[in-house]
């Protein structure tokens, strides 16, 4: 787990891991600067899935959330991610 504190500007993250992911180009900060850019399958990169507060400001064809910090929302999105991961194993 990374950044469970939530809503922070990821361009200036206090987390060394998040800063390294961004600086090395493994993840891209989304346009709101509150989360990572992800596909509709929650991928920030090949086999790199994002869940929880790092989805802050996610707006795509499937999901539109400004905050992803409460348990109910994370649980609902986690069920979608579980389906994506299960599908990728087939």
CA 17 and chain centroid, separation? 14
Does residue 23 fall inside a structural domain?
yes
Does residue 4 fall inside a structural domain?
no
| CA pair distance 10, 54, nearest whole angstrom | 9
Nearby residues of 57 by Cβ (< 8 Å), 6 or more positions away: 30, 31, 32, 33, 34, 35, 65, 66
Confidence (pLDDT) at 7: 60
Mean pLDDT of 75-86: 93
pTM of the full predicted structure?
A: 0.81
pLDDT per position as a tens digit, 14-68 = 888 889 999 999 999 999 898 899 999 999 988 899 998 888 888 888 888 888 8
Q: How many domains does the chain have?
A: 1
Does residue 2 fall inside a structural domain?
no
3-state secondary structure of 52: helix
Question: Structural domain of residue 28, as residue ranges?
Answer: 10-89
Does residue 52 fall inside a structural domain?
yes
């Amino acid at each position: 787990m990374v950044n469970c504190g939530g809503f922070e500007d990821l361009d200036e993250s206090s987390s060394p891991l998040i800063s390294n992911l961004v600086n090395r180009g493994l993840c891209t900060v989304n346009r709101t600067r509150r989360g990572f850019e992800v596909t509709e399958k929650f991928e920030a990169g090949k086999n790199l899935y994002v869940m929880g507060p790092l989805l802050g400001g996610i707006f795509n064809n499937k999901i539109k959330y400004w905050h992803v910090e409460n348990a109910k929302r994370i649980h609902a999105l986690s069920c979608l991610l579980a389906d994506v991961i299960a599908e990728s194993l087939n």
